[in-house]
Amino acid sequence: MQIPLLRLQCGVNSYDWGKVGQESAAARYAATTAAPDFKVEDDKPYAELWMGTHPSLPSKDVETQRSLLDLVQDNQALLSTEISERYGSRLPFLFKVLSVRKALSIQAHPNKKLAEQLHARDPRNYPDDNHKPEMTIAVTPFEGLCGFRPLAEITHFLQAIQPLRTLVGSQAAGDFEQAVKGNEDSEDSSVIQKNKDALRSLFTILMESAPEKVETACKELVALAKDSPDSFGTLPGEVETNPSNPGELAEIIGRLDQQFPNDIGSFVFFFLNFVKLEPGEAMFLKADDIHAYVSGDIIECMASSDNVVRAGFTPKFKDVDTLTKMLTYSYAPIEDQKLRPTDYPYTILNATAYSSASDVVKTDLKRTGAKATFDPIEGPSVIICTRGNGTITVGSKTEEVREGYVFFVGATAECIIQNTGSGEGEDDVFTTFKAFCELDGKEDLTNGN
């Protein structure tokens, strides 16, 4: 039997929102294992590196040039019997690197039932019938929008940002304020549902705003941010109630309008948490939860799907009606949106696990010769190096590892990685991210249970 360690050649998608040329981590990583004719172009945006078996852009074995999808279909032992029985002949997850230069769509991913309905109704815009819960881990400093803000913050902006209040209308704004007043932090389930209903009503009114009204409101919003950056979003005499730094808020609104002039997304910003992640920090995006990416390089791990319901910050197909109806309208502070890492139980030495429907382990080996051994697990893994130099060993097979190298490790295989850096200086760190899936206690990535 072939030793289950394959170095992968991974494709990169070029979308307008991607970082340009060598600034894109996705492009640099792709170049290390790309086809011989691939060259990073200095003026071309590179957005997503895909690692997995998704048929839209399946990875290939560098040595044989066979697709990983073909290889695991021909040899089910690479996935394990249990994984194959539940998910079929493919990886149950899709691993990505995203390099975000400009805002990446106000969006949500449908749950399994809705994904099936959307795919049957509109396969062109919803290309498969699977849902797409996903995890995001920052590789560089990252900005994004994730989930609805606490209700008190939304109320604050309705009162402090006049173009926002004008756009939704004083009646709708007042109805929302009255509905949630005094109950913003209630834990009573009936009150929470009432709050969600009020948020749904107001947000739907915003998203259904006429384009000409959005254009007028955006011009007023940008002018307000430009003319009064030190007090932008602040109520007179109540600076301490501002949930954001005024100058930072004004800068972001100006930046977003430059990227997408007169876009409804500039107002959606005041409804969503603005999340900043440092390298290694993470957040989890459940199905039917609203989010957007603003800037930075990230690792993503998700169910093997490409379904997105978009409604702003994008030239692509927008489906406002589906988005406003599908959202959970859960609201919470920024810290509740972040994913808390834990120690990874199946290895030793500097390994941090991020657990959701599938798992990702980040390993930092901080000195030359440092080694980490991953015990065998019942599912397959994909490993990418984002920093440094090292080796990876499975059985009697050892491969060199450099930044951007990607490997597939089959089920039930012990895997050893080792730092082989120069040993010069404190910056000689060997960093890898490993995506994998085990069945015990995990959400079913196929049926959404």
Active-site positions?
310
- Token digits for 406? 């990607």
| Cα–Cα distance for residue pair 161/154, rounded to 1 Å | 10
Beta bridge partners of 433: 362, 384
Range list of H helices, 260-388: 265-268, 320-326, 334-337
Cα angle 357, 363, 365; round to 5:
175
Nearest 10 degrees: CA dihedral of 251, 252, 256, 257? -40
Query: Sheet containing 406-409: which strands, arranged edge to edge?
Result: 60-61, 5-9, 406-409, 381-387, 430-436, 359-365, 351-355, 342-343
What is the secondary structure of 60-109 as a DSSP string? EETTT--BHHHHHHH-GGGT-HHHHHHH-SS-SEEEEEEEESS-EEEEE-
Q: Is the dihedral of CA 167, 172, 178, 182 positive or negative?
A: negative
> How far is residue 377's CA from residue 375's CA, in Å, rounded to a whole number?
6
Distances (CA, A) of 300 to 246, 268, 285, 293, 417: 31, 23, 10, 12, 21
How does DSSP classify residue 240?
Answer: G
Query: What tokens appear for 55 in the block?
Result: 């048929």
- 7 within 8 A of 405, measured Cβ to Cβ: yes
DSSP letters for 148-199:
EPPHHHHHHHHHH-HHHHHHH-HHHHHHHHHHHTT-TT---HHHHHHHHHHH
CA 107 – CA 155 distance, rounded (Å): 22
341 touches 138 (CB < 8 A): no
Which residues have C-beta within 8 Å of that of residue 368, sequence separation ≥ 6?
Answer: 419, 420, 421, 422, 423, 428
Q: Is 447 exposed, middle or buried (0-12, 13-18, 19+ CB in 10 A)?
A: exposed
For residue 62 the two structure tokens come to 């560098």
Please tell me the distance from the alpha carbon of residue 136 to that of residue 275, in angstroms, as a whole number: 12
